[in-house]
Chains A and B, each alone.
Chain A
Amino acid sequence: MPSSTSARSIRVLLGLAPSSGVAGGTGDGVRIRDHLAAVRTLLAWQRAAVTLCGVAAIVSRLRQHRLLIERISATGLVLVAVVLVLLAGLRLLTTGDELVPGAVERRPLVAALPLVLVAVAAALLTILAAQPWS
């Protein structure tokens, strides 16, 4: 990632720079569809995060008198969703760099994030399911 990425992202937000990229190489027709595909990916991430919030809301409302572990878990799930939302937004802003041929960058942390998050959510739900029902 070039060092000017964050500065460019701010320029993109202000409308001073195009977001995805850099025309050329593969041609504008491909660029339009690539950008739209990146937007759909962002929207899928947003939906995943909102669904996580829904799970948290249901978890925290299953019983009248809730355990501390349930409160912590529900809050934790929503905080995970916040991280997802922000990472997906950052990803859309930096996708333009990846669409340039030869500038594709490996980001194993981002790629592994969904697995980590699903694991965390599964662990939380397992803990919740193991709680005795009052």
Chain B
Amino acid sequence: MDSTSTRDAGDPTSAAARDRRAREHLANERTLLAWTRTSLTLVALGFVVARFGLFVRELNGQGLGHDAATALGIVLIAGGLVAGAAGLVRFLRVRQQIDRDDFRAEVWAEMLLVGMTGAMAVGLAIYLAVTG
């Protein structure tokens, strides 16, 4: 941790430094909102997948595939919630880093999301290929 790094040669409390920090905080906040949208999208997809499974089950009786749809939907919704939590943790960390002038370009939350989304999409592809 190199907390002594100075990004501004001048006074860190100067108006320019304050403006720069404000822009960084606003960018961080936009990023949190993007995380929230992504999380909600995952939750909505999970809801659609689970609901359509129930709908089909009511139409033509029981089937193994429809229980799989419900399970897949629940996994998607849980994944959306995990993504939202990861986005919130990332937001708080970056906020602290900006205030301490010690920014680290971390990507753990993004890679977690890529892994989760990829895995769930592969599951959905298998489900759609098997059950149609």
Beyond A57-B128, A61-B55, A81-B121, whether A40 also contacts B110 by CB under 8 A is no
Cβ of A18 and Cβ of B118 under 8 Å apart?
no
Cβ of A57 and Cβ of B124 under 8 Å apart?
yes
By size class, the interface of chain B is 35 or more
Residues on B with C-beta less than 8 A from A58 are 48, 52
Binds B, one of A88-96, A105-113, A116-124, A125-133: A88-96
Report which of B34, B59, B104, B122 forms a contact with A39, defined as CB distance below 8 A: B34
Bound-complex Cα distance A53 to B43 (A): 12
Bound-complex Cα distance A15 to B111 (A): 12
Contact with B along A32-47 (1 / 0, CB 8 A): 1101110110111011
Residues on A with C-beta less than 8 A from B129 are 71, 75
Query: Smallest CB-CB separation from B107: which chain A residue?
Result: A19
Beyond A36-B28, A56-B128, whether A28 also contacts B118 by CB under 8 A is no
Cβ of B34 and Cβ of A40 under 8 Å apart?
yes
A1 lies within 8 A of chain B by Cβ: no
Q: 6 additional contacts, CB 8 Å, given A36-B28, A43-B113? A: A19-B105, A40-B31, A43-B37, A78-B121, A92-B110, A93-B107
